[in-house]
Amino acid sequence: MTINVQTIQALPVISINVWSILISLANLFILYRLVRRFLFKPVKKVLDARKAELEGRYAAAEQAEQDALADKAAWSEKMAGAQAEADGILHRAVSDAKLSSEAIIASAKEQAEGIVASAEEEARLERRKAEAGIRQELVGVSTSLAEKLLGREINASDHQALIDSFIEELGDSSDGSN
């Protein structure tokens, strides 16, 4: 193998040299390895890392959204429950009030009826008393009338049965006339 530096000389426009072709082939292959090592590998690594991070972010965001939705559902359920509870309380209060008012009204009615009943009772007693008084009067009147008519004294105790039957008739006729 000899190396000789030529005097300046140029190739013809078209020439074929096997070694030049092989050098060029090796050049392209080496550049392919270098581009892969120094451009594609680092950039792909960063792109993949970014993709992974983005996917993580999306997953976290979706998780957060789901949590929020679950919270919302729970709260709306709770709110609905509260509404129902409030309704129940109100309803109960209303029914309680109704019940107590009914009780009050009932007791008032009862009381009023009692008052009326006692008043009637009293009135009846009054009447009875008055009747008894009138009867007594009648006994006296009829006794004295009879004394006047017969001219003699009538012993009240002796003629009690007679007087009683008379008053009875009187009472019956007065009752019947009433």
Element (H, E) at 156: none
Structure tokens at 145: 């009338």
Rounded CA-CA distance 42/158 in Å is 149
**Residues touching other proteins, count (CB under 8 A):** 46
CB of 13 to other proteins, least distance (A): 5
Least CB distance to other proteins at residue 65 (A)? 23
Q: Which is nearer to other proteins, 43 or 145 (CB)?
A: 43
Cα angle: 168, vertex 169, 173; to 5 degrees: 120
| Residue 4 in the binding site for other proteins (CB under 8 A) | yes
For 21-113, where are the E strands, in sequence order? none
Distance CA 64, CA 69 (A): 8
Round to whole Å and give the CA distance between 144 and 125.
28
Binding track, positions 43-82, relative to other proteins; x by CB under 8 A: xxxxx-xx--x-----------------------------
Nearer to other proteins, 27 or 111 (CB): 27
The smaller minimum CB distance to other proteins, of residues 50 and 72, is found at: 50
Least Å distance, CB 63 to other proteins, is: 21
Answer whether 163's CB lies under 8 Å from 142's CB.
Answer: yes
Report if residue 2 touches other proteins, rule: CB under 8 A: yes
* 3-state secondary structure at position 100: helix
Site for other proteins, rule CB under 8 A = 1-6, 8-32, 34-36, 38-40, 42-47, 49-50, 53
